[in-house]
Structure formats: C-alpha cells, structure tokens
C-alpha cells in the first residue's frame, strides 16, 4: 500500500510523530537537563521505539524500496570512499584522545547504531522520498538537510544547553546535506546507516575524554568539524559537478 496522500505531506506527518516518539520519550525517560553523554550511554527505550515505528510505516505503506530499505543498490558505491576516509580520521582522533571500552561505551555503540537506523530511515528514507516526489533530488537533499539540522535544536529542550544544541543544529545541516547527496546517488540507505553509526560512535568515543557533542561534530572539535566541512564541499561537487 503506497501513501494514499501526497508523499511530502505524509512524510511531514511521519516526522511529527517521530519527533514526539524520540524527544517526548527521552524527556519522559531521562527528564530535562540531562547530558547527552548519559542518554547515549544507558539503555534507551525511545531509540528502540523510533526505528520500530518507522519500520511499521514502511510495512504499512509497502514503500521499502522508496525508503531505501534494500541491500542491493544500482548506484555508484565509489561515492562512499570520501566518507569512509573521514570516518577513519575520526576514529584516529578518538583513539588519540583515549578510548576506554567500558559498559557506557558499549551502550553507546548500541544506541548510536539505533540513532543511525532511526535518523537515516526518517531523513534519508521517508523524508527524502517525500521531498523527492515533489521537488527533485537536489532539493530533497537540501530540504532534508535543513530539517535534519533544525530538529537537533530540540536537543536544547532536553539538555537545557541551547548553545550546544545550536552548534549541533548548524553542523547537522552540513552533515545532513552530504548524507542527502550520497542518498541521491544511491538507491539504498544501508551504507548511510553504517556511516552515520560509525560517525556518531567515534564522536562519542572521543567525547569520553573531551567534552564534545554526542550526535554531531562540535565547533570545539577541529578534526570532526574539518571532516564535516570537507564532506559538505564534496557533496556540492556530487550534486552540481
């Protein structure tokens, strides 16, 4: 069953529900004023519920391929070389700062994987498809990136750290755009889930020693910020080159 309404309208409706599931659930479980490091390093029920909800949407609509939920892609996987190099750099940065494989970091590995599945399925799956249906691939990458960044502002309502949330929102516009550009070149979000997971996990691992944002590159982190900006320029080349 495909979307019975305009795909863009339906995608926005799914986004609203997803936001309530994620941020409403996080506030209920952890309360306000909680550091992101704690949220990612403990068993996190909203991060489980969110991808389950999106998979239910995919099952109900039957839009598995449209949402990028396929193992085989007819795209050019060479576009993944640059982000793979960036991820290696991030993990080198993390190990240089010291990584302790304790219980908190193991939970972080699981939770950042859930974040990767949830956010890629929401923004480069459902939302990208909705925008693509109405505006085309280039605008779909840009629109999904802008909304991806804006949603990270809601971290401020959770942590009460609006400065950090604003940094995350800004950086995630860049991150969302290069992920969207990769999505435009591929017919699957599976590699993007892996990239998103390893990216967030590396940032959190580095944050065990340095006070950094968990879900995005912090402005205080030169290496993460540089990787993000280089990949943003790479995405512009992919889209317009």
User: pLDDT per residue over 169-192, tens digit each?
Assistant: 999 999 999 999 999 999 899 999
Kind and range of the H or E run holding 145: helix 137-151
Report the domain count for the chain.
1
Q: Does 2 fall in a domain? A: no
> Any residues with CB less than 8 A from the CB of 220 and at least 6 apart, and which?
210, 211, 212
- Tokens standing for residue 140: 């779909």
Residue 217 pLDDT exceeds 60: no
Q: Does 188 fall in a domain? A: yes
Instruction: Taking residues 142-152, report their average pLDDT.
Output: 97
- How high is the pLDDT of residue 4? 67
Phi/psi for 217 (5° steps) reads -70, 130
- pTM, entire model: 0.92
- Tokens standing for residue 170: 């800004």
- How high is the pLDDT of residue 219? 40
Q: Does 144 fall in a domain? A: yes
DSSP 34-90: --HHHHHTS--HHHHHHHHHHHHHHHHHT-TTTTT--S---S-GGGGHHHHHHHHHH
Q: Are residues 235 and 122 in contact, defined by beta-carbon separation less than 8 angstroms?
A: no
Q: Does 1 fall in a domain? A: no
Q: Does 70 fall in a domain? A: no
> Domain range holding 35?
7-65+75-240
Task: Report CA-CA distances (Å) from 86 to 83, 92, 112.
Answer: 5, 10, 17
């Amino acid at each position: 069953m495909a979307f019975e309404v305009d795909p863009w309208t339906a995608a926005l409706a799914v986004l609203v529900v997803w936001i309530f599931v994620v941020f409403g659930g996080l506030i209920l479980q952890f309360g306000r004023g909680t550091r992101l490091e704690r949220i990612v390093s403990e068993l996190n029920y909203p991060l489980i519920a969110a991808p389950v909800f999106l998979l239910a949407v995919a099952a109900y609509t039957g839009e598995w391929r449209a949402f990028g939920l396929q193992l085989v892609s007819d795209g050019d996987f060479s576009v993944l070389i640059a982000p793979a190099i960036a991820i290696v750099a991030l993990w080198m940065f993390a190990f240089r700062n010291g990584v302790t494989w304790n219980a908190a970091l193991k939970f972080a590995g699981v939770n950042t994987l859930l974040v990767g599945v949830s956010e890629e399925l929401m923004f480069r799956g459902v939302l990208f498809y909705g925008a693509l249906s109405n505006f085309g691939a280039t605008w779909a990458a840009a629109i999904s990136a802008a909304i991806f960044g804006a949603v990270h502002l809601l971290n401020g309502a959770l942590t009460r750290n609006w400065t950090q949330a604003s940094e995350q929102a800004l950086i995630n516009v860049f991150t969302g755009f290069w992920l969207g550009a990769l999505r435009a070149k591929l017919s699957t979000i599976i590699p993007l889930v892996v990239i998103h997971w390893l990216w967030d996990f590396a940032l959190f691992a580095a944050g065990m020693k340095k006070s950094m944002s968990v879900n995005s590159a912090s402005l205080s982190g030169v290496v993460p910020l540089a990787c993000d900006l280089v990949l943003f320029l790479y995405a512009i080349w992919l889209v317009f080159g």
